[in-house]
A and B are shown apart, each in its own frame.
Chain A
Amino acid sequence: QLQLQESGPGLVKPSETLSLTCTVSGGSIGSSSYFWGWIRQPPGKGLEWIGNIYYSGSPYYNPSLKSRVTISIDTSKNQFSLKLTSVTAADTAVYYCARDEVASGTTDYWGQGTLVTVSS
């Protein structure tokens, strides 16, 4: 059974960089059948797509976040990562890593989510 697990600091100071890693187990991140992505959800609010990346390393980003976001992939470690620079309180959210199936376009597996709070 595929599992995704987010890891990283739960508290980040304003203006600093948020860094999260998603470790995938039970399957290979190097498959051509999937994208690997990040979605976030501010407390009590809706879902926001951040971006995703193909195993070959081609990333796609939400235009509203593109200037601050980097998603990278490490197939040797079966991990992919998110970096979000110059964070503010508006970036406080539960961050989910997830798998997108190419054939169906479905986000079919999600991590449990990790709350990141931006505060001094």
Chain B
Amino acid sequence: SYDLTQPPSVSVSPGQTARITCSADALPKQYAYWYQQKPGQAPVVVIYKDSERPSGIPERFSGSSSGTTVTLTISGVQAEDEADYYCQSADSSGTYRVFGGGTKLTVL
């Protein structure tokens, strides 16, 4: 099976920078996407195609990729950013999608 690996949790203080990583063998061939999910809500995309930011998403959210790892960076973290974050990509053939296990971002 194809897996995306994320750290289970990341903690930062308000105003600091949070970095959440996602790694897998197929990432160099397929784009990665990042979704934010708050309790009781459906996920919302915050980064698509590795580093593109949808309209309406604050500039403090950015994405990057290097080798088999993609990273979601949240600069100047705010209390409202506390949520679960999921990376998503596709297998090397692009046939099916897969989500990472999710990272809980805690704002201290």
Inter-subunit contact B43/A47 (CB<8 Å): yes
Residues of B within 8 A of A48 (CB): 99
Residues of B within 8 A of A108 (CB): 45, 54
- Which bucket holds chain B's interface residue count? 20 to 34
Residues of A within 8 A of B10 (CB): none
- Which bucket holds chain A's interface residue count? 20 to 34
Give A27 to B13 CA distance when docked, in angstroms.
42
Inter-subunit contact B98/A107 (CB<8 Å): no
Give A46 to B43 CA distance when docked, in angstroms.
11
**Contact of A111 with B42 at beta-carbon distance under 8 Å, contacts A60-B96, A62-B96, A106-B33 already known:** yes
Q: Is B25 in contact with chain A by the CB < 8 A criterion? A: no
Task: Indicate which residue in A63, A104, A112 contacts B42 across the interface (CB closer than 8 Å).
Answer: A112
Residues of B within 8 A of A52 (CB): 97
Closest-CB distance, B45 to chain A (whole angstroms): 5
Instruction: Give 7 nearest A-B pairs by CB, closest first.
Output: A110-B42, A46-B102, A49-B97, A47-B99, A106-B48, A46-B101, A106-B45
